[in-house]
């Protein structure tokens, strides 16, 4: 599984460490909240709402440099819209990967 990284954030910041930290702080604050809403919706089988949650989470997946994981999220989002949870385990492993990474920052 690919590993999250800060390459995208670093490329956007042009070396501005304060800007990088601000983005990291925002992600660290928002990600757990958005992830919990996703889990609440998927547990309740609210697939349309869960698809919206995945859509929001995709942006953080992208920001953390997870190109292949982003594509997984796109497919999973489409499946949820179609009423299917196909791809759930793989998507949730991406979320765990991101959670573990954010704890190291």
CA distance linking residue 80 with residue 54, whole number of Å: 9
Q: What is the pLDDT of residues 7-31, one digit of tens each?
A: 999 999 999 999 999 999 999 999 9
The per-residue pLDDT for range 38-77, each reduced to its tens digit, is 999 999 999 999 999 999 999 999 999 999 999 999 999 9
| Predicted pLDDT of residue 41 | 98
Q: Nearest to residue 62, comparing CAs of 15, 19, 5?
A: 5
Question: How many domains, the chain?
Answer: 1
pTM: 0.95
We report the CATH number of the domain holding residue 80 as 1.20.120
Distance of alpha carbon 22 from alpha carbon 55, whole angstroms: 22
Q: Identify the pLDDT of residue 27.
A: 97
pLDDT at 90: 98
Residue 24 inside a domain? The answer is: yes
Structural domain of 51:
7-103
Q: Does 50 reside within a domain? A: yes
Residue 79: its pLDDT value, please?
98
Q: What is the pLDDT of residue 1?
A: 82
The pLDDT score that the predictor gives to residue 31 is: 98
């Amino acid at each position: 599984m690919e590993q999250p990284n800060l390459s995208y954030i670093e490329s956007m910041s042009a070396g501005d460490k304060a800007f990088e930290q601000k983005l990291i702080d925002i992600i660290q604050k928002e990600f757990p909240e958005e992830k919990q809403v996703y889990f609440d919706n998927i547990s309740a089988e609210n697939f349309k709402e869960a698809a919206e949650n995945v859509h929001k989470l995709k942006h953080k997946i992208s920001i953390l440099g997870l190109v292949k994981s982003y594509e997984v999220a796109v497919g999973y989002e489409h499946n949820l819209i179609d009423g299917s949870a196909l791809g759930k385990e793989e998507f949730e492993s991406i979320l765990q990967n991101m959670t573990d990474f954010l704890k190291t920052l």
